[in-house]
Structure 1
Amino acid sequence: MPYWLMKSEPDELSIHDLQRLKQARWDGVRNYQARNFLRGMQPGDLFFFYHSSCPEPGIAGIARIASAHYPDPTALEPQSHYYDAKASAAKNPWSAVDVVFVETFKRVIPLAQLKAQSALLALPLVQKGSRLSVMPVSDEEWAAVLALR
């Protein structure tokens, strides 16, 4: 099974929000490489839920992909922060997926701790200059992160 890591700002969607909602749409991905990773996801795939742009960035839990990708409706909504004036109903380059809650970690695994793990050196998250919001995680990286919780 492929594994992933997806970043969200907690004031937009946190692991606790997803726990309360049970299911949510993961949208607003506006980087082509991240979008392509999103399009590679399959229902049932697991991902680490990473809180970004917050006082304590880090991995907060696990969620599951609940749907195949579909056109991101926020690209067509002028009031949305993710609106794309070049997108249309006929040609929407952006994708979204539905996700469901699996688990909240007892504590957020901070970025500094993730960067200190030799097993995670190839993970784009810990590489300097990488700002991808969606990325694949190898089986070994998945196991290394699970060992930290």
Structure 2
Amino acid sequence: MHEMSIALAVIGQVEEAAEQAGDITAVRSVRIQVGELAGVVPDALSFCFELACAGTVLEGAELVTDSVPGRARCAPCAHEWAVGMPPRLSCPRCGGATTDLLSGRELQIVSVRWEDGPTHALTREPIPEER
């Protein structure tokens, strides 16, 4: 289950940001973007996140997941469409197979809310994937 490695990567990045911010005693919530083509099961990620937060500054934090739909653009005719699941990567207008994936593979932390504090946007770096 690669959702556990993703949860651990999120926790690691948030702990690092909390340490750099200084004097952070608890994290209330973490908001992430997950593209529908990222191969991540949001419920499994939430479960793993809750387990992995135990004993950390994130213990009890809520994981808020924003789903990002997959969208593609046909290079020859510039038509854009929702890719859907299973993904349709050939152009529905002209049948072209030369497409650019515009969205749907995102996996990144958007913001973190500290205990009794404001929401902080983190740099929008992708969450490292397991290799």
Q: TM-score with structure 2 length normalisation?
A: 0.28
Structure number with bigger Rg: 2
Q: TM-score with structure 1 length normalisation?
A: 0.25
